[in-house]
Amino acid sequence: MPFLLTDSPEPLAMNTLPALKLTHFSACPRRGEIYAYARFYVCRGAIRFCVTGFDETPPESARMAFVFAYPENEVRCVRTVLFKYGETVAESSAGQRAVDTILSTGADEQGWYWQREGELDAEFLRKALGRAPKSGDVLVGNVVSYDETETAFGSAFPVPFGEDAFSPDGFDVFPVVSY
């Protein structure tokens, strides 16, 4: 099912955006199915994101990641890897770079969580994807929660059994729409 990415000329409050929940699991993770979600929008060609995992004390090997590409060139994608204890990194065929993020932790009615909020800037996206996203574009991608020590993972969109968590076979569409 498509997930709309709002394109706004001005920054938006993340909690006003819909959450893309990770509800599909490939195998059974040792630590269970960790509830997680992500929020995204486009602002002046940048992708702003907030990724939340309800896991108070994840192991050092726990990660959350998202990947975006244009459907006409899924090989040219950008994958962003986040975890609670260290640096957020964006990887693409154009190279790798650190991404500044803000880490916050807390608890709400769903339990203890950690989240990272940040931005993939338009210049980086132009180099990584060939162009920066704007209204009318359609991206493809997925959001994944995984542990580097096992093959099981959770994702926002189903990934065929036996496929890698970041396989294009598990991508769904992200239409970019005007705010």
Locate 114 and state its tokens. 């950690």
- On average, the pLDDT of the chain sits at 93
* pLDDT score for 89: 93
Please give the tally of structural domains in the chain: 1
- CA–CA distance from 53 to each of 6, 71, 106, 119 (Å)? 22, 28, 11, 18
Contacting residues for 109 by C-beta, under 8 A, at least 6 apart: none
Distance CA(7)–CA(5), nearest Å, equals 6
pLDDT(177) > 80? yes
Helix spans in the chain (H): 122-129
- Strand, helix or coil for residue 135: coil
What are 26-46's pLDDT values in tens digits?
988 878 788 999 999 999 999
Structural domain span for residue 150? 5-178
Cα distances (angstroms) measured from residue 45 to each of 53, 107, 108: 26, 32, 32
Give the CATH number of the domain where residue 74 resides.
Answer: 2.60.40.1190
Global pTM? 0.94
Alpha carbon distances (Å) from 91 to 3, 56, 68, 80, 125: 22, 27, 11, 6, 11
Share of the chain above pLDDT 70, in %: 100
Give 168's pLDDT tier (boundaries 50, 70, 90): very high
* 52-107 tens-digit pLDDT: 999 888 899 999 999 999 999 887 889 999 888 888 999 998 889 999 999 999 99
